[in-house]
Amino acid sequence: MQRRSFIQTSVTAAVGISQLSLTPQFGQSDLPEPKPDKLPRWRGFNLLEKFVAGTAGPEPAGAYKESDFAMIAELGFNFVRLPMSYHCWATPDPARWKVLNEQVLKEVDQAVDFGKKHGLHVNLNLHRIPGYCVNQPAEPISLWTDDRALEAAVFHWKHLAERYKGRPNQEVTFDLINEPNTDEASYVRVVTALVEGIRSVDPNRLIIADGLQYGNQPVPKLASLKLAQSMRGYMPMNVSHYKAEWVQMLKDAPPPTWPGTWMNTTWNAERLRQVSIEPWLNLQKQGVGVHVGEWGCYNKTPHDVALRWMEDQLKLWKEAGWGWSLWNFRGAFGVLNSNRTDVAYKPYKGMQLDEKMLALLRAY
């Protein structure tokens, strides 16, 4: 897409959101059957109601909001990813890892039903699984080295498999472990056990595995398991996470530009292609479907820089045939209520809409 075309699209958005909402872009019913070697170009957002348990996260844990599903569909998208903590329905005490709160799990069932009702694919992800989470606090024992954690992790995924057995892959898929950080052999061992557990209950469920190195490194040794894989779209971090309070290495980073420099390396669209596209294209040649499970730009990055960077990412993914899922829908990375200081928002259903970002996302 040429810059001129993007500007024209942005101007259209500025005229009024009603024009955009009347022209859905990516209907779920129009997508092909999802298969592990070829995923549809799912495009949408992460929803965070069960990202953490309690009130420590970006929003209080609770039931998913049907209004989010309705708005995502109305704005022209077809996909939601639900990164979830098992702490929402089970205790962090390893002795009680298999005691499940059915009331909370029914809220996940409801989200899958919301997806079906509004024509959105729902991808269930364990952001925190027994034995591992990329975020603090650390789990009491390690999924990578302790068989007790692996047994509990298999138990949770088998339970979810039983809940959704018989639901078509067009409606719901599984994303096993968010952003693993371990050695390849340990990861392959754990994923193999989880896959075997799920398939013992639901042999046809489409399963996705995140790449290693926090989702950035494809894992060819998983190809024989007939899984798709999920990558990340946060590079370079000084653009996507500028002034993010939880990233200590960027605490004193200067304001980013795009194209720009990070870690003594020039970053531009071609660098993104080399680092974040070509390794995954090589994986795709082995019969592995690819999807960008998370990406986005924190609200402290200047808006014009964020949009230029986002456009280059989107172009590359469209060229590769990959879908994507922005982190998040409502919040600091999203199109609603992102609280940027350099955006003229438009009111939309009681919230503040970033029309330029929305127009860019809809264009790809």
CA dihedral 85, 123, 306, 322 (to 10 degrees): 140
Check whether the bond before 328 is cis (ω within 30° of 0). yes
- Band (pLDDT 50/70/90 cuts) for residue 20 is low
Cα-based angle 179, 181, 186 (whole degrees, multiple of 5): 115
- Let me know if 295 is exposed, middle or buried by CB neighbors in 10 A (0-12, 13-18, 19+): buried
Q: Write out pLDDT tens, residues 143-193.
A: 999 999 999 999 999 999 999 999 999 999 999 999 999 999 999 999 999
Spatial CA neighbour of 238 closest among 214, 273, 262 = 262
Left if phi > 0, otherwise alpha if psi is -120 to 50, otherwise beta: which for 202?
beta
Average pLDDT over residues 196-204: 98
Question: Percentage of the chain with pLDDT > 90?
Answer: 87
Write out the H or E segment, with its range, that includes residue 294: strand 290-295
Structural domain boundaries in the chain: 23-333
The Cα 38–Cα 292 span in angstroms is 13
Going 155 to 161 to 164 to 169, the CA torsion angle's sign is: positive
Q: What is the mean pLDDT of the chain?
A: 92
- Band (pLDDT 50/70/90 cuts) for residue 56 is low
Q: Write the DSSP assignment of 93-129 as a string of letters.
A: -GGGTT---HHHHHHHHHHHHHHHHHT-EEEEEEEEE
Cβ-based neighbour number of residue 195 at 10 Å: 21
Going 15 to 120 to 43 to 247, the CA torsion angle's sign is: positive
pLDDT given at position 46: 98
The Cα 319–Cα 308 span in angstroms is 17
Q: Which CATH class is domain 23-333?
A: alpha beta
Left if phi > 0, otherwise alpha if psi is -120 to 50, otherwise beta: which for 306?
alpha
pLDDT given at position 34: 96
pLDDT given at position 62: 87
Phi and psi at residue 326, to the nearest 5°: -70, 140
pLDDT given at position 160: 98
pLDDT given at position 225: 98
